Structure 1
Amino acid sequence: MEMNDLLHAAVDSDASDILLVTDAPPMFRIDGQLRTTALEPLDPETIRDLCDQVMKVQQKEILEKQKDVDFAITVPRLGRFRFNIHVQRGSLAAAIRRFSNEVCTLSSLELPPVVEELTRLKTGLILVTGQTGSGKSTTLAAMVEAINQRDSKHIITLEDPIEYQFQHGKSLIEQREIGEDCPGFTSGLKHVLRQDPDVILIGELRDLDTIRVALQAAETGHLVLASLHVSSAAGVVDRLVEVFPPEEQSQVRSHLAESLRAVITQRLLPAAMSNGRVAAVEIMLTNRAIQTSIRESTTHLIPGIISTNRRVGMQTMEQALKELLLNGKVDAETVDEHLQELKGEASGKEYSHGLLA
């Protein structure tokens, strides 16, 4: 079995992901659903051979030492693929994510118009959040490409690994890969601030030091775009603050209230009338009421603030879901399922804004 054959099959099937695990056939994720291929179950030797076909010596050394390695490769005419190769039950397994050769536009993603407006900001922090596989990287890439095609800016990205590859448009774009071009997000960010950027893209806010430097960059005249694994706008604030020691949290809330410009939270849902998926998008734009909630640690009020400010482009996830249903883009069963998830999340976090009663 050849890895290239698997990648070709995934593209032909329009799969977003490939999963390789011992004693199971290769699995494809198509439109969010995991599908079994007609291939034979994989043994440890076959998976090892498939992984060896795409790993460099350095990546093999990292895998041997850490039992886990992330990297990306570009396959001509197929696109770019992100690999996570890891050890489970003593044998290798792999999760492979497929990216398009071309960066999507904001209009093709059918995101709310306010997302394009956010790309016109000069400074501040914009976060794109959601669960794994919710399209965060695609949205961030589309935002960067909107700036690239419209403005003369210096854009620097820090990614682990590089997912979409940009071509210079009106902007000059540098892409730095963690582990290849710099040792880590924190050190990369510190040096980026000395490289005259206008826009900084951080693939993921993972730890205290990265968040600290990202806030500093957003406060000192840069537009910072980043992703975070959080399922709601209110949850973003709590997550960022709680990373810091208790004695720093009050000051961090103040910095966050000043620097945070918007939170875009995404879910991908199966389309009602065709193959593919559509995005349900929650939008939080930082206004005075949001700033007060951040400073005073009353983030349970944020969903209510969002729901009453639709006229300026904000919307809750519930409002986004119901609008998709109204427009016939998703079916009622899908919306009900996600509304129940939201209700459970809200109950678990003690958010009570009256929308899901």
Structure 2
Amino acid sequence: MTGIPDSPVQNLLGRLADAYPGREISDVQLRSNGLIYVHTNRGIEIAESFGIQTDAMVHQVAEALYLNQTLEIWTDVSEAGSVDKMWELVKTRRVIDFSCDAGALGAPVRMRVQMHLSEGGMGLTCRWLRGTISQLETLGLEPMISDSLRELMQRRFGLGLITGPTGSGKSTTLAAVLDWVRRNFPKHIVTVEDPIEYRYSATMEDPNQPGVQIPCPSLVTQQEVGKHTNSYQSGLKEVLRKTPNIILIGEIRDRETMETCIEAAQTGHFVLSTLHTRGAVKTIDRILEFFPKEQQPAILHRLGETLTFVLSQGLLTGFNGRVLVTEYLQNTSESVAAGIRAYDGNATSLADALRYKGNLRWDQSLLQLYRGGAISENIFNANLLG
């Protein structure tokens, strides 16, 4: 796409990356007439050395990112890539979301950008989308959880949920799981995402010949909401006609998507998705909230059959960077399935299920981090589920 002329903003994001070496930037916040705030593995940091960003500077960054958004070959570039079009959208919609290749601003990654208005003027929230996919072993998960995920992903059908607040690493974990599958099994994996965060190559390094690329056993078909399909709901319905083995839905946002995910799992597909919940109990509560009370017993029965695992995670500020806290519930025994079916809003049945071997409670994981000297007492107390 079109680049930008030499200007003070041309290498802004690259200079930010250089200013925070090894700090795992996840988001950059720019506001008109304000300082730049950077989300790193130490929390939110102020890039004071970059000074106050004028209204004109933020507008230049916005235009540069918009001009470099990821487009399809059939897109009308003259319209979609036009600065005039951008300002027209800002005026009418007030908020614009898009993904882009941010190399024109020196960024080493693709980005998901939200351009928005607030009291101070224009604001930009830039999520850095990592180019490389982490291995399961490097995520900070307990080895028993990694081993369980590998085992469960070999099942023919089921529903696996990775949950947590924004910025808790859900997409990173999902990508690591799918990457392991695509390199080890002949599957058709179809994803519906908003936007596409990680891209999966059709090749992989030959495990027997380092440096040699060979075709991956799995075929991965990735679709982005708004570009390749109209919505999560329509994308999920269309996915079922593509003969997938594994389906990834980036996020469950409504009842229709939740119900279709359960139906897909019941009809022989393995479905992966995310919810913005913390802990297995809150996850079941959130699922039930999608449905009328009279339907909830039937939904719990279906979940007892299809829900394969819930991995809930959060990233906490530790003494040496961010650390991962988790809760893990694997539905691999009749006792756990019965606990799911019997859930009535009282956490007892699920709390008992979480104590079965192979599961991990949130507070237990948090206590391990505290006793291991990874987090402070204040962080420990602030994040207890109780």
Residue 319 (structure 1) aligned to one of 364, 368, 371 = 364
1:5 corresponds to: 11
Offset from partner CA, 1:120-165 (integer Å, 9 cap, x none): 2221110000111110110011111010111111111111011111
Instruction: Tell me which amino acid in the other structure corresponds to 2:135.
Output: T
| Segment of structure 1 superposing worse, 223-232 or 73-82 | 73-82
Which position in structure 2 is the counterpart of 1:118?
Answer: 152
For residues 89 and 326 of structure 2, the distance between their equivalents in structure 1, rounded to whole angstroms, comes to 37
Note if contact 2:109-2:131 (Cα within 8 Å) is conserved in structure 1: yes
Secondary structure of the corresponding residue to residue 194 of structure 1: helix
- Specify the alignment match of 1:73 in structure 2: 100
Secondary structure of the corresponding residue to residue 280 of structure 1: strand
Unaligned residue ranges in structure 1 (runs of 5+) = 344-357
Aligned to 1:243: 290
Identity level (%): 31
1:189 pairs, out of 230, 236, 243, with 236
Shift of 1:303: 4.9
Pair 171,2 (structure 1): closer, same or farther in 2 beyond 3 Å: farther
- One of 166, 169, 180 as aligned partner of 2:227: 180
Are 1:52 and 2:28 an aligned pair?
Answer: no
The Cα shift of 1:239 comes to 0.7
Partners of 1:199 and 1:62 in 2: CA distance: 36
SS in 2 for 1:127: strand
**What is the match of residue 182 of structure 2?**
148
1:20 aligns with 2:50: no
Q: Matched residue pairs, number?
A: 337
Structure 2 SS opposite 1:269: strand
2:256 to 189, 195, 209: 209
Instruction: Report what 1:338 is aligned to.
Output: 383
Q: Is the 8 A contact 1:205 1:227 kept in 2?
A: yes
Q: Deviations over 1:251-276 (max 9, x none)?
A: 2222222211110000112343x3x3
Structure 1 counterpart of 2:108, one-letter code: L
CA distance, structure 1, for counterparts of residue 157 and residue 42 of structure 2: 35
2:268 to 193, 196, 221: 221
Q: 1:84 to 1:11 in 2, by over 3 A?
A: same
Deviation at 1:278, TM superposition (A): 2.0
Q: How big is the shift at 1:93?
A: 1.1
**Alignment partner, residue 108 of structure 1:** 138
* Aligned position for 1:354: none
Rg larger in 1 or in 2?
A: 2
Structure 2 stretches of 5 or more lacking a match? 1-6, 68-78, 203-215
What is the CA deviation profile of residues 192-212 of structure 1, one whole-angstrom value per residue up to 9, with x for unaligned ones?
A: 000011111111111111112
1:294 aligns with 2:340: yes
**SS of 2:125's equivalent?**
strand
TM-score, structure 2 length as denominator? 0.81
1:258 counterpart = 2:305 = yes
Secondary structure at the aligned position of 1:55 is classed as helix
1:71 deviates by: 2.1
1:52 partner amino acid? E
User: Which residue number corresponds to residue 30 of structure 1?
Assistant: 40
* Letter matched to residue 45 of structure 2: R
